[in-house]
Chains A and B, each alone.
Chain A
Amino acid sequence: MSDGTGPEFIVIGSGPAGVSAAIPLVEAGRRVLMIDGAQPSRPPDASMPPDQPWRRMLGATLTALRPDDELSPKLRTPVALDVVGGFQRWAEIAADRFLPLGAMARGGLSQLWGGFVAELDQDDLQGWPVTADELAPSYRVVTERIGISGSIDDDMAPFYGTSGPVLPALPLGPTASALLSRYAAGKPYRDFALGLARNAILTVARGERQACNLSLGCLWGCARGAIYDARQDLATLRRHPNFQLRDGAIATRITHEPDGWAVATTDGAPPLRAPRLLIAAGPLGTLRLAVPLLGLDKIVLRLLNSPVMAIPLLVPRRLGKPAPREGYTLAQLGFRLRYAQPPTHYVTGGLYETTALPPSSFAARLPLGRRAGTAAFRALSPALAIASVYFPGHCSTNFITADLSGDQVRVGVRGDVSDDFAAVTRLVRRRLGAIWRRLGAFALPGTTIAVAGTDAHLGGIFPMGLADAHGTSRYGELNAAPGIHLVDGSVLPSISAKPTTLTIMANADRIGRRLAGLA
């Protein structure tokens, strides 16, 4: 540190959780050292020449030019393969019917997230040791900081939350417009609501970040910085003299010392020491570090995720119309559907237009030759949309197995769903199908349920408020390792059907604020 004394806090991970916890600490004048496994030599991805889109789409070394593996197109971009691949090589998680997503890169998974955000309300927070009122100030701070656009007065606005300021929405694409106008003109629904999606994307320039220019390139990473990315906060943090970033340092071992904690890293430097440690390596990364730390040998832990389903829709009114020349591939509309009485039994999701998506990933699924398949997709795409539907975390029954033998750490994740999930998906498909038809859209064959973990909405591993050895306090402090706070999704006691990132950031902010105030 610049004043010659060691850090008061070490933060492991530079993703949305890490920066959100570090900001209140740094602003309060505390000395913070952040470590991050990113390889400093990684080429910058935002500086691609605009006349060579293939570099962005296939990667300069053609890493993304490979056969279709049926994953979401989002996960097949060069950036995603790089960010996620690095994590998977490091974590060596044995996954069964589960896709272990994590990041070994600056900014973590926010380099490739979809930007969809929502606040949890008191019903969503059932079983949490934290109330909505306690989270609200943090939601406001984070919302102000990252810039969120959407509507504040449509049917979905109260569902997404009202704690922070909301920027004007992006213009709707023609297909989304067609659906929304039908919705507004019709009778209200009892259990269903539709409105503008709420996205962490700037519609007004701010600092070094430019506003969205509707260039349709979202999938491959926003070169303008319009979509929030934790690297933007990291740049702000690095302007503070009491903040330091150590790149290329992968934490390998955490040990207890009389006056705090020591973190050994792969970069060969002596262990880093601080009285308090904040782990924000993402749920699976944090798990990987916590298993040896807590001595979790021959143990089974639960892991929640939000199962996700994709439904292709056709809007016949739009057939033969020109494809929009500008737009964005984040969610355009958001919806929710309550499918049963208990307050957490709802699904939520987004509606995406398809014109900017690569035709190859659709043509690979059509029972047609390649030329005809591509033509079919391109001719139909102005009338196509994709609805993603997220289910609440209690539909998932994944579990984690941990094994320690000497220095060997073996972590396995097995994906599974609850017994009633098949019935729930049938019910949801039927009810949504009827609603789409009323709105003038038809579900096409080809609905898929993504492999668990694709959603990256993970939690419930080290729940806040749980008294066990793998539980944490209401400030994410490990019961079995005082002084270590987990500040990412791993401590969320439950996962709702809403996207988790904003809540993870608000929770990390809340914990950071609390720690900043401690003597």
Chain B
Amino acid sequence: MPQRLVVTGASGYIGARLVERALRRGCEVVVLGSRPAGANDAAIAATPWRLGEPPRVTALANASAVVHLAHDWASDRLDGTGPGNVNLNGAETLARMAREAGVRRFVFASTTSARPEALNAYGKIKFALEERLRALPNSEGGLFCARIGLVYGGPERAQYGLMAKLASLPLLPMIGLDREVQPIHLDEVCDGLLALALDPPAGRQTVVLAGPTPMTFGHWLRTLRRARHGRRLQLIPMPIGFALVACDMTKAIPFLPSVERERVLGLAGAAPMASAEDLAALGLTLRDPADALTNCRPARRRLIAECRAMLRYVAGRRLRSPGAIIRLARVARRDPAFRRALPRLALRWPGLLRLIEPIRPSMQHGLSRRLHLAAMVAESLPDEPPQLGLGVLTKEMLLEAGALPFRLAFARVYA
């Protein structure tokens, strides 16, 4: 019999993906509150519900687990850490009713910033909530707090959406660059939550779902930009006070996207938590973010544009074969040589690639290697290249000679 899962916050960044992955594993999913956008309605039962209200008992019937992801940010802002914060009572009510309805497991999405001394309300509230839930009777063995790190990947929403936006800029004034963060892919978070809900490891009430080797926030932003855009990111450290003032200003200026103080404070207060043992107990092996991000949309789009330009350059003509571009891109996604973006001008005028190639081809040189693969794809196409006379050869050699000084100067840049 399929296991039934009750999910709150199913329309959120993590929730939507969690529901998708749970369904793929053959679970039945009951959504409390709004359902994920674009989800297949037939597969998901949804019940109207708001955080703080008691759910209908029928919604909890026969469920194996509740995964509580919903969080009311407005209440954090308005009510702070006081008793009026709807997050506090909401989670407790839900957990209590789930227990009464015979649901065996309650998985609570917490955060790696859950600490009593956290700078932002979010961290403080999540910590207080963990404490409250643990204090419920019979919570041992049935309650799981998942402290989730910095989540990336998937749709560009929530924190990841903000960081994706930041990483699209070449120059970024930023706070907390030396703070340590623990990135984890959205799919990995979902798999961890599902493991807790369906088949939890024994003896772990609080698990850390976060990258096992912390990296500085600055390094993370650079990794993100390199993986998504193949380019470098220049970071300018900014004092926190200045950033908070800037946040307040974004709210005052119309048409500018506003940035919450909460997010800024959350970053400034980040501190790493050990996660390796928890991940191992859950059977999770995290991918290197640089590998996991090769599939994100900007990276894919960039690769396609670059593969098209490289094919055009090596073939010396426009190729009427989308298949060729796709074949090259398929290999490119796996080959680290392609992670470095080509200059934008070369995408427009592929002939410019001549100016940045190394003098002597080498498979160790990133660009040389990419062009070799492109040449292999180009020569495997059925249309015959035109016969090359000595005139064309002479022209090519003259161009080659003209490009020499540029190549001496620039080839190293694209190694």
Instruction: Give A contacts to B, CB under 8 Å.
Output: 51-54, 57-58, 62, 64-69, 319-320, 322-323, 358-360, 363-376, 378-380
B377 touches A58 (CB 8 A): yes
Q: Which of B314, B327, B389, B390 contacts A370 (CB 8 A)?
A: B314
CB atoms of B387 and A323 under 8 A apart = yes
Contact present for A372 and B399 (CB under 8 Å)? yes
Nearest-neighbor residue (CB-CB) of B328 within chain A: A65
Q: Is the CB of A62 within 8 A of B400?
A: no
Interface of A is mostly: loop
Assess the B330–A371 pair: CB atoms within 8 A: no
B4-24 Cβ-contact flags toward A at 8 Å (1 or 0)? 000000000000000000000
Q: Check if A370 sits within 8 Å of B368, measured CB to CB.
A: yes
Specify which of B330, B368, B382, B399 is in contact with A62 (CB 8 Å cutoff): B330
The distance in angstroms between the C-alpha atoms of A379 and B316, with both chains bound, is 14
Task: Give which listed residue, A69, A360, A371, A376, contacts B316 with CB less than 8 A.
Answer: A371
Question: By the criterion CB–CB under 8 Å, are B313 and A366 in contact?
Answer: no
Contact across chains for B375 and A363 when beta carbons are under 8 A apart = yes
| 0/1 string, B366-389, CB within 8 A of A gives 1 | 001101111111011110010111
Check A53 against B382 for contact (C-beta < 8 Å). yes
Chain A residues, Cβ within 8 Å of B354? 369, 371-372
Chain B interface, DSSP helix/strand/loop, else mixed: helix
Q: Which residue of the partner chain, among A54, A69, A363, contacts B380 with CB atoms under 8 Å?
A: A54
Query: What residues of A have a CB within 8 angstroms of the CB of B372 in the complex?
Result: 67-68, 360, 363-364, 370
Q: For B375, what are the chain A residues with a Cβ–Cβ distance below 8 Å?
A: 359-360, 363, 370, 374
Contact B313 A370 (CB under 8 A): yes
B interface list, Cβ under 8 A from A: 313-314, 316, 323-324, 327-328, 330-331, 354, 357, 359-361, 363, 368-369, 371-377, 379-382, 385, 387-390, 392-393, 396-397, 399-400, 403, 407
Assembly CA distance A376 to B357 (angstroms): 16
Task: Contact check, A364 vs B388: say whether CB atoms are below 8 A apart.
Answer: no
B357 touches which of A68, A323, A369 (Cβ 8 Å)? A369
B-side contacts of A69, CB under 8 Å:
363
**What residue of chain A has the Cβ atom nearest to residue B385's Cβ?**
A378
CB-based nearest B residue for A382: B387
Select from chain B the residue with minimum beta-carbon distance to A320: B390
In the complex, what residues of A have CB within 8 A of residue B331's CB?
62, 65-66
- B361 lies within 8 A of A375 (CB): no
Contact A320 B389 (CB under 8 A): yes
Q: Return A299 CB to nearest CB of chain B, in Å.
A: 38
Which 10 pairs from chain A and chain B are nearest by CB? A54-B380, A379-B393, A360-B375, A57-B380, A370-B371, A67-B363, A375-B396, A372-B400, A378-B388, A369-B357
Distance of A62 Cα from B385 Cα, bound (Å): 22
Beyond A65-B331, A67-B363, is A369–B373 a contact (Cβ under 8 Å)?
Answer: no
Q: Are A58 and B327 in contact (CB under 8 A)?
A: yes
Give chain B residues whose Cβ lies under 8 Å from the Cβ of A369.
Answer: 354, 357, 400, 403, 407
Complex Cα distance, B386 from A323, in Å, reads 11
Query: How close is B209's CB to chain A, nearest CB, in angstroms?
Result: 34
Residues of B within 8 A of A66 (CB): 331, 373
For residue A220, give the distance in angstroms from its CB to the closest CB of chain B. 10
Nearest Cβ distance between residue B239 and chain A, in whole angstroms? 47
Chain B residues positioned under 8 Å from A358 (CB to CB): 376, 379
Give 17 pairs: A residue, B residue, CB < 8 Å, sorted on A. Answer: A53-B382, A54-B327, A57-B376, A58-B327, A58-B376, A62-B331, A67-B372, A68-B363, A319-B390, A369-B403, A370-B372, A373-B361, A374-B314, A375-B393, A379-B390, A379-B392, A380-B393
Residues of B with C-beta under 8 A to A371: 313-314, 316, 354, 396
In the assembled complex, how far is the CB of residue A176 from the closest CB belonging to chain B, in whole angstroms? 20
* A residues in contact with B381, CB < 8 Å: 53-54
- Residues from chain B with Cβ under 8 Å of A360 in the complex: 372, 375-376, 379
Given A68-B372, A369-B357, A375-B392, 15 more A-B residue pairs with CB atoms under 8 Å apart are: A58-B380, A62-B327, A65-B331, A319-B390, A359-B379, A360-B376, A363-B361, A364-B361, A367-B360, A370-B361, A370-B368, A370-B375, A372-B400, A373-B361, A380-B393
Min CB gap B321→A, angstroms: 9
Q: In the bound complex, do residue B390 and residue A375 qualify as a contact, i.e. CB atoms below 8 Å apart?
A: no
In the assembly, what is the distance between CA of A380 and CA of B396, in Å?
Answer: 13
Name, among B331, B369, B379, the residue most crowded by chain A CB atoms within 10 Å (CB to CB): B379
Assembled-state Cα–Cα distance A365/B375 (Å): 13
The answer for the CA separation of A236 and B375 in the assembled complex, in Å, is 41
A171 to chain B, nearest CB (A): 21
Q: Shortest CB–CB separation between residue B254 and chain A, in angstroms?
A: 52
Is there an interface contact between B396 and A65, defined as CB atoms closer than 8 Å?
no
Q: Which of B376, B387, B388, B403 has the most CB of A within 10 A?
A: B376
CB pair A379 B382 closer than 8 Å: no
A371 to B389, CA, bound (A): 15
List residues of chain B with CB within 8 A of the CB of A363.
361, 372, 375
When distances are taken between beta carbons in the complex, the residues of chain B under 8 Å from A366 are 361
Tell me, in angstroms, the Cα distance from A366 to B379 when the chains sit together: 17
Q: Tell me which of A67, A370, A379 has the highest count of chain B C-beta atoms within 10 A of its own C-beta.
A: A370
> How many Å lie between the Cα of A106 and that of B373 in the bound state?
30
Question: Which residue in A52, A58, A320, A364 is a CB contact (below 8 Å) of B382?
Answer: A52
A117 to B25, CA, bound (A): 58
Chain A residues within 8 Å of B313, by CB: 370-371
Task: Contacts A372-B399, A375-B316, A375-B393 given; indicate if A51 touches B382 (C-beta within 8 A).
Answer: yes
Q: CB within 8 A of A372: which of B376, B379, B397?
A: B397
A323 to B388, alpha carbons, bound, how many Å? 9
Q: Find chain B residues with CB under 8 A from A322 CB.
A: 387
Closest to A366 in B: B361
**Are A376 and B380 interface neighbours, CB within 8 A?**
no
Q: List residues of chain B with CB within 8 A of the CB of A57.
A: 376, 379-380
Query: Is A372 a contact of B396 with CB atoms below 8 Å?
Result: yes
A68 CA to B328 CA, complexed, in Å: 15
Q: Which of chain B's residues has its CB closest to A220's CB?
A: B380
Residues of chain A within 8 A of B407, CB atoms compared: 369
Residue among A69, A358, A360, A368 facing the most chain B CB atoms (10 A cut-off): A360
